[in-house]
Amino acid sequence: MNNQLNKGVIDLFLLLLLKKKDNYGYELTKISAENLNITEGAVYPVLRRLAKMGYLEIYQKVENKREKKFYRLNEKGLQYLEMLLSEWNNIDEAIKKFK
């Protein structure tokens, strides 16, 4: 995916994934790479930024005898996601007019 376009959709994509279920960074990276060719180097900084902005909560969970850092979308994050989806839909509609 074009690097500039990638930067514009990574927040939206990660928030959509976290709306479905809490998840840990490696799994989010794997899903992002499979679907949008987003690299690990792009995912973790975005997760940290979204958490710092108050959209995600972070908690530790032991899974397979390993402690993992999980991310959870909170109410503020859900509102931010709804705003991003609205903007995405507006852009999508504008582009469809010129296809």
Dist CA 23 CA 8 (whole Å): 21
Span 69-89, pLDDT tens digits: 999 999 999 999 999 999 999
Give 15's contacts (C-beta < 8 A, 6+ positions apart). 50, 55, 73, 77, 80, 81, 84
CATH topology of domain 3-96: Arc Repressor Mutant, subunit A (1.10.10)
Query: What pLDDT was estimated at residue 4?
Result: 65
Rounded mean pLDDT of 17-42? 93
* Structure-block tokens of residue 96: 């469809």
Dist CA 30 CA 57 (whole Å): 20
